[in-house]
A and B are shown apart, each in its own frame.
Chain A
């Protein structure tokens, strides 16, 4: 099949197994994000795909061509046509912007015009081409790096936390522009990041890495709402995780009786709700009662810590309440739960 296929790939440094049997496939032209805490092996995986390191075991296949396998095939990095965009862009400081963009192009008559095209593509003013990398802003540097990577029309482009050096506002804008460009170029893309919001918004597929393994991979919305375990659940966002008794599609927990997304499961389990599923109820008809123990104002909303009455104290949940007259500490509140809770595997 076309696209990137990673099969049972492992890589150790001494006694440390940085990547321990990763399987992942990215259909051609699609985007995938790998998220994980630092040390989870995501950068090593990227370097294996780029060809900077050789895997100890497993196979890496790109568009039907074996790049590396256990039989000793190892296509060197410079023959893979895999674009690479490292963290801070890594522009060559001794070359002008034009020479940076044209670095991977054959020397020839059409090189200058191609560099101009690429600059236009990443919305870089042509006047910038004569400048030096240190004269550019962070966002501009990142766009030059992207143009440079796209110059040789790569079959796959690897992005190693390319937006993390940018400040918050610029980061979102650069990310959107990059996604649009990658879509326009129709290039398969793999993004490595530790920022879950970035991963969720970047791609058709995300893979959560932990201890050198892919803990779970799938569509962003699936992973967000139906994570396999509590570690993945909390990694992808704030989560309310409660012990519960599950039976026939219903769970009994500190928030009362809730519908769950798993009709087969019975017995004790842990269930997960995203904070936006729990709201302060205006009417008294909501069944779950509790007492506010802490109010934290965070700008766009208030985070209330509510001690649930039914739990005999001790079980608290965090609830977001819109800015406005928030309930005071120690005042009683009622809660409403929207949508089914998710049953965790662990």
Chain B
């Protein structure tokens, strides 16, 4: 297990190693010359501005929707709580496609920020809603009995306890903003990721692209540091035993109800209505003849094949790391696990660039092979498999393996027959998450896939680039339909955390 875990972690460190190696290789003077340029400054301003605007807006929206659906007596709360998570079923670049389809002139910073907020605010909404459901209402009662008004209670008791889910969601959104290519390319807003992609397409592995990748990695690491520094060591567990009482709902009153409903209606119209209306429009325009099954079916099958292979490989790679993180004594397990999470925060473009460089320079025969693109999926999506696998291994008590050994099973057989058998549902859930992530993966697939590979995302992308929106629409519809189960799983999981 240990050598396997070390090997997996070493492979996932390739992107970071690549950036460091590039920095040394290029040398100080060239690096500085490449970095101190108006273009880099412009990209930096764009990217930082995007984070500074889109993240807080998403947080406000996410918390508002979470509070309205969990803690207020808004009519139709259950329906709204599902609709709040639903935008996740639409891949970000399909959001972009829908908006450009609806308003062709849409472009630039505000368009990018608006669509990004609509695509990503559920990342804050889901964990915040889960935390709100978990809060013990007795704390709020106590605060009220100590003389605080309901508004003060929210500010001084509820909001501070939402810090962790809000921070986690904000980090996730910021990392997505750094990594997203399709959405911003469609809305013609330049970020580091789109710029790297452009350079890569025009001049392949150029020092300029590598340097920008380095800056992107630094931005990611900066975000991770900020998040872990602000998270601190605080733990907001409920003290004491017994089950929490049912939450009391806040009475909005007619005015509040009107305001809450308007917010949710507008938000849903923008985040779900626009994509669905556009997709519907293109689909109707194209008619049944537009569903060229002789083209779509091979692409669909190829996507499923890649996704299945990626899911299985990623789960297998996550296995030793997860096992070591749970059962291993001491720091090594935690360090290895940490490595994988850092890599998980790296944008797909950096991972793709690193693998291109490594395959070209070191193992040429592997360049643009199935192996390399699958390796990219493993590196990109390992954390998703790791989280559910880790949780399910942790639920299998080690005593069970001891007992199996005392009953004559070798340690390896005990591990497989007992712990792995018990972890199987978690492994399957993790594999499903990876599977669905691969079906909508665009950036790394575009760069790394062998010539002739056509996935739903890449085919959609090439048709979109040819402005053939009608022919692209079926692929977008299939991707959305495939993503619905994933979104449902995320929604149900966030509710189960709350213990209901």
C-alpha gap A330/B399 in the complex (Å): 55
Known: A90-B397, A90-B400, A92-B418. A50 touches B407 (CB 8 A): no
C-alpha gap A87/B402 in the complex (Å): 12
Is there contact, CB below 8 Å, between B422 and A94? Answer: yes
Q: Which listed residue (B406, B411, B418) contacts A82, Cβ 8 A?
A: B406
Is there contact, CB below 8 Å, between B408 and A87? Answer: no
Q: Which listed residue (B397, B405, B421) contacts A77, Cβ 8 A?
A: B405
Is there contact, CB below 8 Å, between B418 and A78? Answer: no
Number of interface residues of B (CB under 8 A): 17
Q: Which of B389-440 contact A (CB under 8 A)?
A: 397, 399-400, 402-411, 414, 418, 421-422
Known: A52-B402, A86-B399, A87-B399. A94 touches B421 (CB 8 A): yes
C-alpha gap A88/B89 in the complex (Å): 43
Q: Residue A84 at the B interface, CB < 8 A?
A: yes
Interface of chain B, helix or strand or loop or mixed? helix
Is there contact, CB below 8 Å, between A103 and B407? Answer: yes
Is there contact, CB below 8 Å, between A52 and B404? Answer: no
Is there contact, CB below 8 Å, between B402 and A50? Answer: yes
Q: Which listed residue (B405, B409, B421, B422) contacts A52, Cβ 8 A?
A: B405
> B-facing mask of A131-165, CB < 8 A → 1, else 0?
00000000000000100110110000010000000
Is there contact, CB below 8 Å, between B410 and A78? Answer: yes
CB proximity of A17 to chain B, nearest CB, Å: 17
Is there contact, CB below 8 Å, between B406 and A77? Answer: yes
Is there contact, CB below 8 Å, between B404 and A103? Answer: yes
CB proximity of A151 to chain B, nearest CB, Å: 8
Q: Which listed residue (A78, A87, A88, A151) contacts B411, Cβ 8 A?
A: A78
Is there contact, CB below 8 Å, between B406 and A93? Answer: no
Is there contact, CB below 8 Å, between B406 and A80? Answer: yes
Query: Residues of B contacting A81 with CB < 8 Å?
Result: 408
Query: Residues of A contacting B421 with CB < 8 Å?
Result: 94
Query: Residues of A contacting B409 with CB < 8 Å?
Result: 78
C-alpha gap A104/B402 in the complex (Å): 13
> B-facing mask of A85-110, CB < 8 A → 1, else 0?
01110101110000000011000000
CB proximity of B328 to chain A, nearest CB, Å: 14
Query: Residues of B contacting A80 with CB < 8 Å?
Result: 406
CB proximity of A293 to chain B, nearest CB, Å: 37
CB proximity of A165 to chain B, nearest CB, Å: 12
C-alpha gap A48/B61 in the complex (Å): 57
> B-facing mask of A36-49, CB < 8 A → 1, else 0?
00000000000100
Q: Which listed residue (A52, A104, A158) contacts B407, Cβ 8 A?
A: A104
Closest 10 CB pairs of A and B: A104-B407, A84-B406, A77-B405, A90-B399, A86-B399, A78-B405, A78-B408, A90-B403, A104-B408, A78-B410
Instruction: Beyond the given A78-B407, A86-B402, please list 6 additional residue pairs across the A-B interface where CB-CB is below 8 A.
Output: A50-B406, A76-B410, A78-B406, A81-B408, A88-B399, A149-B407
